[in-house]
């Protein structure tokens, strides 16, 4: 039952400690808890409200995955397979250094971060938030230490820390992102003790340098898809915030179903 799923999240049943020397959760410990269980009709109504929000979030995720697949497919067709032909006249083979400058992130420990909305990036992705950006325009984050070669598109201001590079593009950032995703940067680890990506090794990787016209056309196409993905992500963040606000109030009975329905209207 979907209501039970949300009740488990609200009461954090998976975190119940049974009091043993090694912190753990047992069925007996969970069975001892007192839960407020509303009538089945209200359970279904609560599950419907919260489930509708989660379903929309999942739909946005699937749509964004489809849009990303479209962008990758077009990139591959144009710039890898050359539309099943030879490399067009006027294009050439260069190196990654022709496309990007890989700039070092800056150290920012958790204790020095101030409450804010700017995402802080490590090689594993977003590690927290800060009130100040290191990079004020769209960029690509590249894992340098730890998760070597990881790539993250970031369309808003962010703070890359010292375990990553961030991209300063010399051509379309969209083209740089999809080109780098084809290079297998995760295979360029040069340090056996601490996984690391050497910038010079990355710069030497062979890439296709298309004509300015082809770059412009791909940039327009990819930018349109990215705008739709960003819109879906923003809507999902709003829906998730609303869900997380409603969940404890509905499960605890603080907010009645009919009042929650008014909020959703």
* Residue 102 host element (H or E): strand 100-104
pLDDT of residue 192: 62
| Lookup: tokens for 176 | 């740089």
| Lookup: tokens for 170 | 């010399």
Handedness of CA 183, 185, 187, 190 (dihedral sign): positive
pLDDT in tens, the chain (265 residues): 788 888 878 776 555 444 555 545 566 655 666 677 889 999 999 999 999 999 999 999 999 999 999 999 999 999 999 998 999 999 999 999 999 999 999 999 999 999 999 999 999 999 999 999 999 999 999 999 999 999 999 999 999 999 999 999 999 999 999 999 999 999 998 766 777 999 999 999 999 999 999 999 999 999 999 999 999 999 999 999 999 999 999 998 899 888 888 877 7
Domain extents for the chain?
2-63+227-264, 92-209
pLDDT of residue 24: 52
The span from the CA of 160 to the CA of 140, in Å, is 10
Indicate the burial class of 69 (C-beta count within 10 angstroms; 0-12, 13-18, 19 or more).
exposed
Spatial CA neighbour of 12 closest among 257, 251, 185, 258: 251
Helices (H), the chain: 2-11, 27-31, 40-79, 173-180, 199-203, 212-252, 257-264
pLDDT of residue 17: 46
Q: Please say whether the beta carbons of 30 and 17 come within 8 A.
A: no
Q: What are the C-alpha distances in Å from 42 to residues 38, 54, 59, 265?
A: 6, 18, 25, 19
Measured CA angle at 225 (ends 170, 85), to 5 deg: 70
Full-model pTM: 0.86
At the second CATH level, the architecture of 92-209 is Alpha-Beta Complex (3.90)
Measured CA angle at 182 (ends 177, 183), to 5 deg: 100
Q: How many CA atoms, within 13 angstroms, populate the side-chain half-sphere of residue 224? A: 7
pLDDT of residue 76: 97
Q: Please say whether the beta carbons of 174 and 226 come within 8 A.
A: yes
pLDDT of residue 181: 97
């Amino acid at each position: 039952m979907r209501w039970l799923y949300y009740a488990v999240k609200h009461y954090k049943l998976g975190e119940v400690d049974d009091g043993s020397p090694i912190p753990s959760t047992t069925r007996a410990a969970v069975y001892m808890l007192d839960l407020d269980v509303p009538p089945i009709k209200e359970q279904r109504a609560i599950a419907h409200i919260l489930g509708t929000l989660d379903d929309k979030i999942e739909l946005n995720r699937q749509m964004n995955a489809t849009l990303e697949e479209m962008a990758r497919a077009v990139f591959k067709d144009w710039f890898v397979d050359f539309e099943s032909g030879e490399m067009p006249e006027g294009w050439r083979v260069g190196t990654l250094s022709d496309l990007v400058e890989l700039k070092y992130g800056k150290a920012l420990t958790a204790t020095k971060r101030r409450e804010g909305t700017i995402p802080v990036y490590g090689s594993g992705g977003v590690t927290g938030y800060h009130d100040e950006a290191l990079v004020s325009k769209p960029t690509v984050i590249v894992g340098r230490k730890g998760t070597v070669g990881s790539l993250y598109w970031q369309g808003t201001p962010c703070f890359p820390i010292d375990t990553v590079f961030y991209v300063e593009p010399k051509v379309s950032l969209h083209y740089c992102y999809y080109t780098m995703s084809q290079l297998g940067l995760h295979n360029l680890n040069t340090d056996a003790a601490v996984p690391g990506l050497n910038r010079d090794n990355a710069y030497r990787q062979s890439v296709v340098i298309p004509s300015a016209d082809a770059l412009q056309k791909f940039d327009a196409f990819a930018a349109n898809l990215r705008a739709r993905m960003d819109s879906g992500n923003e809507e999902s963040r709003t829906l998730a915030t609303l869900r997380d606000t409603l969940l404890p109030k509905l499960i605890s009975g603080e907010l009645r179903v009919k009042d929650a329905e008014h909020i959703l209207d």
